[in-house]
Amino acid sequence: MTIPTLTFSRPDDMHLHVRDGDAMRSVVPMTARQFARAIIMPNLRPPITTVEQAGEYLRRILSAVPQGITFTPLMVLYLTDKTTADEIRKAKASGFVHAVKYYPAGATTNSDSGVTDLAHADAALLEMEKCGLPLLLHGEVTDADIDIFDRETVFVEQKLVNLRRRYPALRMVLEHITTKEAAQFVMDAPAHVAATITPQHMLYNRNAIFKGGIRPHYYCLPILKREEDRKALIAAAISGSPKFFLGTDSAPHAKHDKESCCGHAGCFTAHAALELYAQVFENANAIDKLPDFAAKYGAQFYGLPINAGTVTLRKESWIPAAQFSLGSDEIVPMDAGEALAWKLIT
Ligand code: NCD
Ligand code: ZN
Ligand code: ZN
């Protein structure tokens, strides 16, 4: 019997957190082993708000890439109330800044410098619309009276609809979508509106956070949703629509920050991201749709060439390490101790 394998162009992770310093040096090699490029989220403390900072961060990330591996970080600026049209023009001209990220103030990890009112960012957004630099959205409202499970849907209905109206030509990626409403919005939108989908939101519904007790490694933002949402995300991912592509949102937090009385939001999946997606696609009888989702549609959206070189996944059960080092700390990946059905052959 021959063992099934799947070979395709080196993929891109179009939503990734690598942090900085020692933690960054621990996680960058894991992503570089799997992906040729990644959209690097700018939510550091302080955030990456200028092209100059993005250039310095780029060099630090490159210095963490192991010898012999080619990996290109695609840099992103963090939009604030103070981002100027001039900075947007500089970003576009830099060639290494590929997008600008919108975090509603207070919505997620390190988002205190985020936008308090989109009207404050009007000049920057108009310039982005003009020069074609995409806006990446953490799509959640933060009002205390909105249920945490409704934050994305309310964002889509109240904010996104207005954004589309005010900036009709603005290229947008609704990041880490989690609901059927978000999937439908993107499906119905024109080609310059896209979405990334994480492995956790396709593998699990919100029961995973509470299975037999509270499970911090399944807590991320936007939070896992209902089963019908999970199904809608899988349907979008395997639909063959180029508007949906891979973005892990792998978000490293030290074990003691996750397993805590106020645990941080974020699932760590960089150690086995492709294998987790392969599981999703195989479960949906659509493993043949994985290559374009992982290696083509994201590149197309960002106007980048398909990567040279290939990766190969083999149908082989294996159990990843249950813990890794994160600088001088430890990190626990999602699904620690559980077997995966596919294995990336390096
Ligand atoms: C991300 C992080 O830790 O930086 N956390 C998360 O739960 N997704 C931030 C984000 O992407 O919203
Ligand atoms: Zn986010
Ligand atoms: Zn993220």
Radius of gyration for the alpha carbons in the chain, expressed in angstroms and rounded: 19
Q: Whose CA is nearest to atom 9 of ligand 1?
A: 109
d(CA 167, CA 170): 5
pLDDT in tens, 154-187: 999 999 999 999 999 999 999 999 999 999 999 9
Which amino acid is it at 113? S
- Kindly tell me the sign of the dihedral angle through the C-alpha atoms of 248, 253, 257, 258: positive
Cα within 13 Å of Cα(62), Cβ side: 12
Which residue do the tokens 């396709």 mark? 202
Ligand 1 pocket mutation, candidates 27, 101, 102, 108, criterion most atoms within 8 A of CB: 108
24: confidence class by pLDDT, cuts 50, 70, 90: very high
* Interior/surface letters 230-253, b for 16+ CB within 10 angstroms, e for the rest: bebbbbbbbeebebbbbbbbbbbb
Which amino acid is it at 194? A
pLDDT in tens, 71-95: 999 999 999 999 999 999 999 999 9
Is 249 a known active-site residue? yes
d(CA 255, CA 330): 6
Residues above pLDDT 70, as percent of the chain? 100
d(CA 276, CA 278): 5
**Cα-based distances in Å from 190 to 55, 81, 98, 187, 243:** 32, 27, 20, 8, 9
Task: Give the residue among 308, 180, 171 at the shortest CA–CA distance from 243.
Answer: 171
346: confidence class by pLDDT, cuts 50, 70, 90: confident
pTM above 0.95, yes or no: yes
Asked whether the predicted pLDDT for residue 62 surpasses 80, the reply is yes
d(CA 118, CA 153): 18
pLDDT value of position 92: 98
pLDDT value of position 107: 84
Cα dihedral: 119, 121, 126, 131 (round 10)? -160
ω into 222 cis (within 30 of 0) = yes
Ligand 1 pocket mutation, candidates 41, 48, 249, criterion most atoms within 8 A of CB: 249
Q: Which residues line ligand 1 (CB under 6 A)?
A: 17, 43, 108-109, 138, 220-221, 249, 251, 265-266
Q: Whose CA is nearest to atom 11 of ligand 1?
A: 249
β-strand partners of 7: 312
Q: Are 325 and 293 in contact (CB under 8 A)?
A: no
**Cα-based distances in Å from 162 to 166, 190, 239:** 6, 15, 27
**Active-site residue, from 12, 249, 292, 335:** 249
161 CB-near residues (< 8 Å, 6+ apart)? none
Q: Whose CA is nearest to atom 5 of ligand 1?
A: 266
Ligand 2 center to residue 294 CA distance, Å?
Answer: 19
pLDDT in tens, 232-252: 999 999 999 999 999 999 999
Task: Give the residue among 82, 36, 80, 73 at the shortest CA–CA distance from 55.
Answer: 73
Mean pLDDT of the chain: 97
pLDDT value of position 190: 98
Mean pLDDT to the nearest integer, 196-203: 99
3-state DSSP helix/strand/coil % of the chain, to nearest 5: 40, 20, 45
120: confidence class by pLDDT, cuts 50, 70, 90: very high
